[in-house]
Amino acid sequence: MSSFQMKQFLLHDDFYGEDGQAFQSEDDVIVTKEDKAPTLQDVRQDLASLLDFSITRWFLEGDVIDALKQAR
């Protein structure tokens, strides 16, 4: 089955760093303010958004853990 698939990777979601910056891009992309990933400051007052933010981190660092503790 895999021999029928394209050889080009299209899983662009897997090539983003902690700050939402893409590691690779084949096309020029215009990013507006609405397209950018939220910061911890943007989500720390809303528990649901804070949880969403926390699961996108490779590692939970102290500032995110502190924000989660305060949001309880």
* Full-model pTM: 0.57
| pLDDT string in tens for the chain (72-residue length) | 455 555 555 555 567 777 877 777 677 778 888 888 899 999 999 999 999 999 999 899 999 999 999 987
Asked whether the beta carbons of 50 and 57 are under 8 A apart, the reply is: no
Amino acid of residue 30 = I
Task: Provide the number of structural domains found in the chain.
Answer: 1
For residue 48, the enclosing domain spans 2-71
